[in-house]
Amino acid sequence: MLASYITIPAPRVLPRLRRRVRVRATDPDAANAAARVVADSHAYKGTLVNGFTLHSPMVSMAMLRLGATAEQIEEQEKSAFEKNSRYGLLEVEGFDPAAEAPTAETWTRFINGDEENELLLRRFWRASIRERGRSESVGACLAELWPGLQSRLHHGPIRLAYASDDDEEETAAALAAYCCNYRPPAALAAGPASASCLGALEDLRLAFQEDMDIPKVIGGLGKKYAAYSSSSEFLRSLPTVASLSSDPDASRDLLDCCLRFYLRKPGILTLHLVTGMHALLVLREDFASHYGQALSAHYTSKSPPPRFPSPF
């Protein structure tokens, strides 16, 4: 029950992370190394198969901000590239001048979950950033894609959150990767209201133990998560947390919940719930009026499967 939850001191007010990230490294060699790693990644598709292309831009920027040297950043890139190359890296598709190009009116038709049209989408977002500016372009994308922010382990918003404001090419690549790795949720939470995220998950756990008849899924957390997150019946049964869309400080409650879940069950899935939550905080101003909806979508994506021991 709640008394068994891991205790994590919670600040009275959650610090607001800066949306705008401009890198001012004291080591120009390190800054140049990080920029080169980001540029190198653009030769490959932003798909989970290409772990290198997904993570190297983010890792290099994080290392730079933590004070890493050029040599350390380059060594990390080399190690990641070698580790992933044995699986076969997928290069971004070539440009077909005869192909229909996305426009401000039609780009949503190019959204897909099959890793298609990535280069066309990069070109569209690059042009959009130059014409409308970064803030308006990113806001337009998030306003459309917030329901599926959990797609491919939250990598859409995560990569976007790490993109530096003054790196037009990486921001365009991040937006394109989000668009062509997009999988909308089967449903969003629509069950009885709970006062908090922690309370909602406890209510859910007790409901499945006592009342609800849900087919058992054999396997670990990842397999169960995949099964139940694709079930519209299960997702609609999740308790709602009204404060997520109405309380500007509700993100603290959800962040606390994500951290507790990770500390109780550390792994790839729970790690990305934390980094996905970090991305929402960084992109808060870009989500604008959709921020509360994005929090609700993240809450839905992180709810633990039934018939699994409480993560707290």
Six token digits for residue 198: 């922690």
- pLDDT of 211 over the 60 cut: no
pLDDT value of residue 240: 87
* Mean of pLDDT values over 229-245: 83
- Only one residue has tokens 């066309």, namely 120
pLDDT value of residue 309: 45
Tell me the per-residue pLDDT of 97-128, one tens digit each, with 9 for 90 and over.
899 999 999 999 999 999 999 999 999 999 99
Nearest by Cα to 304 from 199, 190, 204, 169 = 204
pLDDT value of residue 182: 95
* Mean of pLDDT values over 154-178: 93
Q: CB under 8 Å, gap of 24 or more: what pairs does 7-11 form?
A: 8/256, 8/259, 8/260, 8/263, 10/252, 10/256, 11/252
Six token digits for residue 110: 């190019």
Nearest by Cα to 141 from 176, 105, 183 = 176
Contact 138, 286 (CB under 8 A): yes
> Across the chain, what does the average pLDDT equal?
83
Q: How far apart are CA 222 and CA 227, in angstroms?
A: 9
Q: How far apart are CA 60 and CA 77, in angstroms?
A: 8
Quote the pTM value.
0.85
Tell me the per-residue pLDDT of 186-202, one tens digit each, with 9 for 90 and over.
888 888 888 888 888 77
- pLDDT of 176 over the 70 cut: yes
Nearest by Cα to 36 from 7, 15, 19, 57 = 57
Task: Look at 15-24, 101-110, 115-124, 159-168 and tell me which has the smallest mean pLDDT.
Answer: 15-24
Q: How far apart are CA 180 and CA 117, in angstroms?
A: 7
Provide the percentage of residues in the chain whose pLDDT is more than 90: 47
Tell me the per-residue pLDDT of 138-148, one tens digit each, with 9 for 90 and over.
999 999 999 99
Nearest by Cα to 195 from 242, 150, 148 = 242
